[in-house]
Amino acid sequence: MTFLEMLQAAQQRNRSLLCVGLDPEPTRFPAGLKGDATRIYDFCARIVDATGDLAIAFKPQIAYFAAHRAEEQLERLVRHMHAAFPHVPVILDAKRGDIGSTAEQYAREAFERYEADAVTLSPFMGFDSVQPYLKYPGKGAFLLCRTSNPGGDDLQNQRLASVDGQPLLYEHVAKLAQGPWNLNGQLGLVVGATYPAEIERVRALAPTMPLLIPGVGAQGGDAVATVKAGWRADAPIVVNSSRAILYASSGEDFADAARREALRTRDVLEAAKG
């Protein structure tokens, strides 16, 4: 299946819009694992096993692995995800943004080394920073559009001189992604849950594209407002929660607590669909 087909299948099978983010911080691991970077796989695999039937996607953040020289653990983790929950796609959160042969190597890293189903990208060097990823049939790429951090205003909320008025930069990115850049229907957009009005605007500009929406949970995004702004029956949204699920408990019951928080969040998102 293509990435988009996987998303749709996972949404239906697991009745979920919830993406489980995997941002492992060994200093926050429970007793027995705490502070031990060689146990990143063990911690994350327990979270995956506890939440895989509740998720529309998994999203490992590559920096949390690379900082601890845990890339091989990430490779092993992705293989485990695919084996245990083959219907749940894996989005590698890498936010790559280079061009030319370097971008080709980053694409190879995401799709061949880590075997991800999709990757996050920064599009601000233009289409040639995106194109190498589109050479992998069926894979997905989410472009940063309107991110959840306050500093996103510095660039994303600036107006451009344009033949079609003065769109904000994030609006221009959404139009490009929905239109001329989306050669094979592989693109999606990243829009932060902390800006529901902007989610609604992006959805209007990109009515059929999948949206990856971080910021629910520890970052304070409103789950209900997020769904009402972005979800459409024919256009999936992937609402990410990381720390609220990963660190729902610091005790030996961490996996059970993660499941309870994932179940609660999934049900809130589902109910918001109305």
Asked if 64 contacts 25 with a C-beta cutoff of 8 angstroms, the reply is yes
Which of the residues 95, 175, 228, 273 is marked catalytic? 95
Cα–Cα nearest to 114, from 185, 66, 52:
66
Cβ within 8 Å of residue 90, ≥6 positions away: 57, 58, 59, 60, 78, 81, 82, 115, 116, 117, 118
Give the span between the Cα atoms of 229 and 6, in whole angstroms.
23
Structure tokens at 249: 């408990």
The CA distances from residue 111 to 21, 94, 249, in Å, are: 18, 12, 33
Phi-psi region of 115 (alpha: psi -120 to 50; beta: other; left: phi over 0): left
Is 95 marked active-site? Answer: yes
Asked if 250 contacts 6 with a C-beta cutoff of 8 angstroms, the reply is no
225-228 contacts, C-beta under 8 A, 24 or more apart: 225/193, 225/196, 226/193, 226/196, 226/199, 226/269, 226/272, 227/17, 227/269, 227/272, 227/273, 228/196, 228/272
Asked if 17 contacts 11 with a C-beta cutoff of 8 angstroms, the reply is yes
Which amino acids are annotated catalytic?
Answer: 95
